[in-house]
Amino acid sequence: MYDIPFLDLPPLRRAGGTVRLPGSKSISNRVLLLAALSAGRTVVRDLLDSDDTRVMLEALQTLGCGLERLDATTVAVTGLAGRLPVRQAALFLGNAGTAMRPLTAALALLAAREGGHFELRGVPRMHERPIGDLVQALRQLGAGVDHLGQEGYPPLRVRGPAALHLEAPIRVRGDVSSQFLTALLLALPLVAQAQPVTVEVAGELISKPYVEMTLKLLARFGVAVQRDGWRRFTIPAGARYVTPGEVHVEGDASAASYFIAAGALAATAQPVTIEGVGLASIQGDVAFADAARAMGAVVEGEANRLHVHRGAWPLRALDLDCNAIPDAAMTLAVLALYADGPSTLRGIGSWRVKETDRIAAMAAELRRLGATVEEGPDWLRVHPLPANGWRAAALHTYDDHRMAMCGSLAAFNPARQPVRILDPRCVAKTFPDYFETLWQVVEADPTDIPVICIDGPSASGKGTLAAALARRLGYHVLDSGALYRLVGLAAARAGVPTDAAALQDEAVQARLGELARTLPARFDGGRVWLGQEDVTTELRSEEAGAAASRVSAVPAVRAGLLALQRAFRRLPGLVADGRDMGTVIFPDAALKVFLTASARARAERRHEQLRARNEHASIESLLAELEARDARDRARSVAPLAAAEDALLLDNTHQTIEESVEAVLGWWAQRRPFEV
């Protein structure tokens, strides 16, 4: 997950390959609640691990449910069997509609029967998302529900005991959110014992497939709801939740829309294959595939998998009622930028009360990209962007995961403009690793992938600066010094001598070159691997440093490492530290920094580092060594240490690391095309 202020996407050229989707948010939270209300143990597999499911799990735990995490995506839930072991709790439900609405209904009915006092809150935006229609319905039943803030919105208090009136049909409005009806359908089986309970929907029900999903999952837990179209739903008398024992959560169909879109935009050689969701899905958002087909994409489906190719190009404009696919419809708004005429999305009034006002937000951000957009109370019309109309935009995301994921699709623009996604962490609501997953199936031209080079002498703090910059920008990091150390180590392992005399021998040079070319180097979460061996600690030794310095003077070694180093230039970008990053390895880098500090300052830092490791050397001897090393590095015939002509000089003798990072980020900002 990218927990950084912004993430820049280089222009993307191609899509292809296979993605496996995280579990469906809507299924995950329904199944967790159903398992919690049932008796016995339910093992939930392929559960989504995200902010929305985390708040649900925390709430269930607070309520006394037994939860056992078997692995990252498997949780065993021991249900409450319709009881309330905890009678008082304050629950924080983030911005998860699928937690706030169903838990309100379930707790209101349980508290009415058993007594209790519960408060349900969320993030500020959750307190602007309507829940009044559900509260009205629960009050009709006789349940105690109070608004703690603004009437009609969370936070709420539910309290009991209270006498429930279950005889008359309960009316609930269905035209603001289908989650109110879903919440009642999930909660009412708890109290439909002596008599059936009927819910009647007032107003046109929106987002119908989500109610269909609710009914299917209720059936999996033993409750067969009788229905009369979309108007009347009856929970039979004596309803009782029975766990199926084990449930597999499908991949998220709304999340699939971004990858279907990527395929529609740029899968020309091989398809984008999406695993985990397909024709057998119970999620309405798989119908996004039909909308993508209507725009020209080639989508082939199997039960649990989709394959997507680019078909018609440009895409065909669309005029569609999106009421049944409210979440995936946002993806169509971005695809419309690539169409052959204006596209109109209708029936999307519910967008206004979701994570943000999505009609206003989408219109504003597509305009930022250069597009002409018209909007109405429940519709949006997007005009396509000509190739020369695209602007490099920093897209605001409004703490809305879908704004961020949709925004990423603008990176396929034919103008080859990069796209900045502000606050990319918001994807954590439903898809924490969205961007990492995107990199698996998209490609940029290597020259479009930005590189920042940090070159400089020993102990200037290059590694620390490079790592800090990479963290801030979400970029990869290339510690080229470690590669030379690894070659030294690989030589020692292979019995190839690296003393001064041996290095004169052409056969030794050739063997070292070969070792470098085929070096099995791997960097992973701060650890360095040589093949199967974690050599992180060994690499830091003075001995490894000395060997690195010797082998790095061998031209065949430098040539051997060239391709390996360039292969680090991967999406979304790279910070490379070394001595010849800007001069030899990445001459086209977008920013080159030559980092120096006085020899004395560097000797003092090295002294400090050694002391921290309980190793000792005098400052004077370290100073002499550093000066000798500098002279050797500057004088060597291959890739001598020198600042690239277009490098910016940064002397950090009197700077803290934070000051150096800010200085480089300042330069970087000046070189980026985004309008701020």
Q: Which residues are catalytic?
A: 327
Q: Of 393-412, which residues contact ligand PEP (CB under 6 A)? A: 402
Nearest residue (CB) to ligand S3P, 383 versus 429: 429
User: Can you tell me which of 19, 26, 337, 592 binds ligand S3P, judged by CB under 6 A?
Assistant: 26
Q: Coil, strand, or helix at residue 376?
A: coil
C-alpha 65 chain-centroid distance: 29
CA distance linking residue 411 with residue 448, whole number of Å: 12
Q: For the purposes of burial, counting CB atoms within 10 Å of the CB of 1, is it exposed (0-12), middle (13-18) or buried (19 or more)?
A: middle
Least Å distance, CB 409 to ligand S3P, is 19
User: Can you tell me which of 38, 42, 177, 356 binds ligand S3P, judged by CB under 6 A?
Assistant: 177
User: Can you tell me which of 53, 98, 214, 596 binds ligand PEP, judged by CB under 6 A?
Assistant: 98
Q: Of 46-65, which residues contact ligand S3P (CB under 6 A)? A: none
Question: According to the binding rule CB under 6 A, does residue 95 interact with ligand S3P?
Answer: no
207 assigned ligand-binding residue: yes
CA distance linking residue 548 with residue 561, whole number of Å: 13
User: Can you tell me which of 57, 206, 223, 467 binds ligand S3P, judged by CB under 6 A?
Assistant: 206
Question: According to the binding rule CB under 6 A, does residue 96 interact with ligand PEP?
Answer: yes
| Residue listed under structure tokens 């550093």 | 626
CA distance linking residue 585 with residue 5, whole number of Å: 29
Q: Of 337-356, which residues contact ligand PEP (CB under 6 A)? A: 354-355
Nearest residue (CB) to ligand S3P, 156 versus 205: 205
Nearest residue (CB) to ligand PEP, 402 versus 476: 402
Q: The tokens of 532 are what?
A: 């199967």
461 assigned ligand-binding residue: yes
* Residues shown for the chain: 676
Q: For the purposes of burial, counting CB atoms within 10 Å of the CB of 675, is it exposed (0-12), middle (13-18) or buried (19 or more)?
A: exposed
538: which DSSP letter?
A: H
Nearest residue (CB) to ligand PEP, 46 versus 327: 327
Q: What angle do CA 645, 648, 654 make, to 5 degrees?
A: 140
Of 508, 528, 531, residue with least CA distance to 519: 531
Q: Which does 488 bind (CB under 5 to 8 A by kind): ligand PEP, ligand S3P, none?
A: none
User: Can you tell me which of 42, 178, 214, 430 binds ligand PEP, judged by CB under 6 A?
Assistant: 430
177 assigned ligand-binding residue: yes
Helix count and strand count (H, E) for the chain: 21, 33
Site string for ligand S3P, 119-158 (x = CB under 6 A): ----------------------------------------
459 assigned ligand-binding residue: yes
Q: Quick one: CA dihedral 547, 553, 555, 560, positive or negative?
A: positive
Beta bridge partners of 39: 242
User: Can you tell me which of 97, 263, 560, 582 binds ligand PEP, judged by CB under 6 A?
Assistant: 97
Question: According to the binding rule CB under 6 A, does residue 207 interact with ligand S3P?
Answer: yes
CA distance linking residue 279 with residue 263, whole number of Å: 18
Question: According to the binding rule CB under 6 A, does residue 509 interact with ligand S3P?
Answer: no
Nearest residue (CB) to ligand PEP, 51 versus 625: 51
Residue-by-residue DSSP string for 420-446: EEESGGGGGGT-TTHHHHHHHHEE--G
Nearest residue (CB) to ligand PEP, 49 versus 479: 49
Point out which residues bind ligand S3P (CB under 6 A): 26, 97-98, 177-179, 182, 206-207, 210, 326-327, 350
Point out which residues bind ligand PEP (CB under 6 A): 95-98, 327, 354-355, 402, 430
